[in-house]
Amino acid sequence: MPEPEVWRTLFQISFVGPLSLLKSAIARMEPAPEAGRRCKVVIISGISSAQVL
């Protein structure tokens, strides 16, 4: 098994970092339902800890 520091680094790179990107994208969305413009976020997960390692 990897050392705790390796786990922390991998968690930051593969989970926390992408969440920061999602947070920024949502903050920039400008929905206007009356104009037919809606914002949608679709999350597709397909990575496991074994794949990260």
| CA angle in degrees (0–180, nearest 5) for 22-26-29 | 140
Whole-angstrom distance, CA of residue 38 vs CA of residue 29: 9
Q: Looking at this protein, which amino acid is placed at residue 19? A: L
Asked if residues 31 and 37 have their Cβ atoms less than 8 Å apart, the reply is yes
- Model pLDDT for residues 37-50, shown as the tens digit of each residue: 888 888 777 766 66
Enter the pTM of the model.
0.51
pLDDT tens series, the chain, 53 aa: 789 999 889 888 878 888 888 889 889 988 898 998 888 888 777 766 666 65
Whole-angstrom distance, CA of residue 30 vs CA of residue 32: 7
